Structure 1
């Protein structure tokens, strides 16, 4: 029996795949639970059209992410904070701070969870912070942290 999967089914396949299953499995499990429909020409054509539309959408979003990655790579975010001994900050620069400033620079709402900062920045310096936009697209933004009294040229360069 040929069926078209409507949902992902563990150990069988993903949504939109055409599968050949035993009659009992299809009639007694897949069809009543709504996991699959009988594979007719119309159903197969609809599935192909949905797959093509999904690929077009994912390609468009990938192009948008690549354009955003180019803009992010060109940016340099500057933060100033109070500094104590050994160039350590009294506070810290967090992923939320970076997301807020990045969103303001780009003119969009930016999610702090996309910023891959293992721990908050607690030192004066220049840091390369990776940002996860999409699968395989991870630009880095330069974050410069300077003390309120120290000039920006005296900060050290580091990678996060």
Structure 2
């Protein structure tokens, strides 16, 4: 089944890409989460609109992405979260929390959809997250999660 991605999906493509996936994956995962729409002949207009939006939001050049990577990897990012005894958090640290903490630390404004956390952050301590800045540039951000 051909679908048009409306958001970036890891391992599949970015917004505006037309990809061929299995019917069940499209119906049960992509459509339900609003990550894709079915491809139609008129869907090409939607693909063009998504591509224009992606160009506006994307980091314009590789050099700019490299400088942002250097800034992110050199900053100490502290995330305050509600924690109980033993350092266990009530809930987990979300990508939106990470984006807000980066901006509060004087870093650039990040799109929460470009932040990937390999395992859910449910304890205090040091953790890492991956930020996709450009198709060729990824930054690893070290997070210090504290009870707050």
The TM-score range, normalised by the shorter chain, is 0.5 to 0.7
How big is each residue's C-alpha offset from its partner over 1:65-98, in whole Å with a ceiling of 9 and x where there is no partner? Answer: 0011000110121122332243211132110011
What pairs up with 1:1-160 in 2 under 5 angstroms? 61-106=61-106, 108-148=108-148
SS at match of 1:129: strand
Which stretches in structure 2 are left out of the alignment for 5+ residues?
1-59
8 Å CA contact 2:118–2:129 kept in 1: the answer is: no
CA separation in 2, counterparts of 1:95 and 1:107? 15
CA separation in 2, counterparts of 1:78 and 1:92? 15
8 Å CA contact 1:130–1:138 kept in 2: the answer is: yes
How big is each residue's C-alpha offset from its partner over 1:21-80, in whole Å with a ceiling of 9 and x where there is no partner? Answer: xxxxxxxxxxxxxxxxxxxxxxxxxxxxxxxxxxxxxxx610000011000110121122
8 Å CA contact 2:117–2:128 kept in 1: the answer is: no
SS at match of 1:141: strand
How big is each residue's C-alpha offset from its partner over 1:112-140, in whole Å with a ceiling of 9 and x where there is no partner? Answer: 01111145411111012111111221111
Q: TM-score, normalised by structure 2?
A: 0.53
CA separation in 1, counterparts of 2:80 and 2:93? 9
SS at match of 1:110: coil
Which structure has greater helix proportion? 1
CA separation in 2, counterparts of 1:110 and 1:83? 25
Q: How many residues align?
A: 90
SS at match of 1:83: coil
Larger radius of gyration: 1
